[in-house]
Amino acid sequence: MRLVLFPYFREIFETIKKDKPLIHHITNYVTVNDCANTVLALGGSPVMADDLAEVEEMVSLASALVMNVGTLNQRTIEAFVLAGKKANALGTPVVLDPVGVGATALRTQTVQRILEEVQLSVLRGNMSEIKSIYGQGGKTRGVDSIDDSLMGGREIALELAKRLNCVVVITGATDIVSDGEQVFYIENGHEMLSRVTGTGCMTTSLIGLCVGTKKNPFHAAIMGTAVMGLAGEKAYEALPHKEEVGTFRVKLMDAIGSFSITLMEESVKIHEA
């Protein structure tokens, strides 16, 4: 099955390099620079715009919209809905990262409002966040997952994708991706990814870039997720001293910038669940 996916991955990657899709982010200020650089490193063009006066105009220029609720305020909440509705009207893919949903009432209510008013192409979160949305009450501490169990993950991804009519990505030690019909596991990555702030946000941006090619969002979500896992492995291999978190962060961006389809064909670990 993995071999069947490679032509789709190649087409997505070649489209990124050729078209440099513009990815409109309404994202959090903790990781905004890393998200922008991640999109640039793989070959896309990021723009960060969240003011109500311009989000509709900006999303009209974009190939995809990435929404990340990591640092909420009342202005950005309205920007999410305004931009999301405009993207839907234009047929522009929308990717949501529900950071910390379930941790506070504001986050939970905001994500619920977005899900009610905006049609997503992809929802990406950790296990706690996805369980919270699904209705199982995932355990969240701040914006971090404290529930990384795969128990029930396949069924949750499958059923939530059907319910929301979008691709669902659950990232963790093993990533789970479903379009409501199929479920794939991705087993690339390294523990060091959990020691750098924002790798989940960066994964969402990579998914947004791949979805911005307007190819199949299921294939695009798998590819964007796998790119981060593979980059994490390559970054760790390149460390001169294995506990250097700061150096790992730099090597991670280098690995995304030097990513190739050949690397993916040789090293990706994807299988149907």
Binding positions for ATP are 124, 171
Rounded CA gap, 211 and 215, in Å?
6
CA distance 224 to 207: 4
- Binding-site residue numbers are 48, 124, 171, 198
Cα(215)–Cα(212) distance, integer angstroms: 8
CA 130 to chain centre: 13
Q: How far is CA 20 from CA 43, 85, 165, 215, 247, in A?
A: 6, 24, 27, 14, 28
Which amino acid, residue 136? Q
Token pair in block for residue 235: 């970054």
Binding-site residue set for substrate: 48, 198
Phi, psi of 183 (to 5 degrees): -135, 130
Report the alpha-carbon distance of residue 205 to residue 96 in Å, rounded.
10
Q: Residue 196 class from Cβ within 10 Å (0-12 exposed, 13-18 middle, 19+ buried)?
A: middle
Place of tokens 């059923």: 159
